[in-house]
Structure 1
């Protein structure tokens, strides 16, 4: 029997490799030869011991090539380049049935590789149901395709903000998620204002289309946004940084009828002061964004396949499977965007 390797986070800063039996696809199953798996914040937190879930077969930002398909698979064939949606949903709970599968009560409860919980993208192969597999363009770089899932998350966020042509949109933070928000807001026809404290990342923001950049360590971002909008405040603000002080700033710089999206998860989850009268009188909307739905994922595959979103500046390193621990150490560096593991190199 053929074997394949899986990378498993087995303890704090500890990754072990396991060999498992490679099974053939049946029915609606697809066997994927994994090319690229990007290391997301979830995996970083487990590897670093912030979240202790051991053993954990991590990796949920995945792209590869179809190796074989079951007899009932219609939409992909061997040789196709694909991205994989690994956020599970039960299809039975209230949220799934109301069309909000990103809020599924049992999402992320998955086992791809026998004996190990977790999405399992750091592996040479994955055996998946066909409904998780999305075909990409034949000429796409699979390292780029692996960023479909984080892009899909940002598409969900952008949709929650209902951006209109000509809106003034602020993106707080120019990490990878902020970078995606900048490009997506530009595609919606907005004027984009990017706020950051790192000059290098502000240069990235400019390159990706930000119309105005603010170094918020050197000037008051709230006052500057109001100055740029003739005192009104922004039409939409996305907080992509995990600091609750910036969540408060996001609300403060939002104008009447504006939308504030708390994109990041906050650690620690400290409370902030909120003037409920400001919300009442301004009719602003304060919302969040978590996980992409299936339509968000599909749109992400189209944007990447058609090269409408540029991810070339958002890949900070590529390491082979045998150097997966090195990849994780790179990913923990806050100056990086995404570090990718090439799972068959």
Structure 2
């Protein structure tokens, strides 16, 4: 099978075609006789709570399949299922429930956004479930997950955080710094312990100050990959562009942070046992108005990032190549290169999805 168009490869956009045999890309070649379609690698979302009326946060397998299918229709061919702060029993049950979906490659793994978070910066996380990091809990979850647990967000200033981060690193699980009131020094200590990701940079963090840089500057001034929610709600387009340029496309990852209300009508929804009201695509907690996840899809995140002034090739790297590398999957997905899995998205000239391919099959 041959797919022609303007092909977005690492660092460049070239006219040509992608040659596919079965589930694999076998060749990418330049060819000036192409149309206006833009061909990009399938998107990789590190942080998503649901979509299309389905949630990942309850551990329900049917709902998880529905959420993954919804985002697949918007070009996300690889994704983590993100839970929110929960009782340990739910975390354990969800890990066991999602393991078959990981084995079937419906999901790339599980991300626990909490419960080891700052009460002062918990945002829409349920404060009832927050607690200090527990190596005992993590040990059980990682063992139960058999590789399915891929990322855990931790506030590095909490008691036991350094030990938890070091444990995660030693067991091949990404430790993300987020929902934190840490000082600059505490954030740097979390990174030194093994933190490699910043959970939705700026959001759920002590804001920067010129006499107390805090975790935002600590993360930008490090080797960590910084997640960015490019919905023009969590981040002003100017701040999105600034952070993307400061980190560079190799250290910035677009995420959706989407909840089940994504793609659904305005109304009342639920997140982590709390009521969420969605109005004009903005999700907020009913009790205090905190932003509660997003209603973003990865194709919209790409459009918003390009509209903010980031070159298309860099924006695609942020949506696909960099998050694939973070997950250790860059030898399988995240770019249009021979030998990789045939996961790709055909976009029109306005960067809207026309077709999605996963493992060489149109979906």
Q: Higher RCO, 1 or 2 (CA under 8 Å, sep at least 6)?
A: 2
TM-score grouping bracket, smaller chain normalisation = under 0.3
**Computing the radius of gyration over CA atoms, which structure comes out larger, 1 or 2?**
1
Structure-2-length-normalised TM-score: 0.26
Structure-1-length-normalised TM-score: 0.27
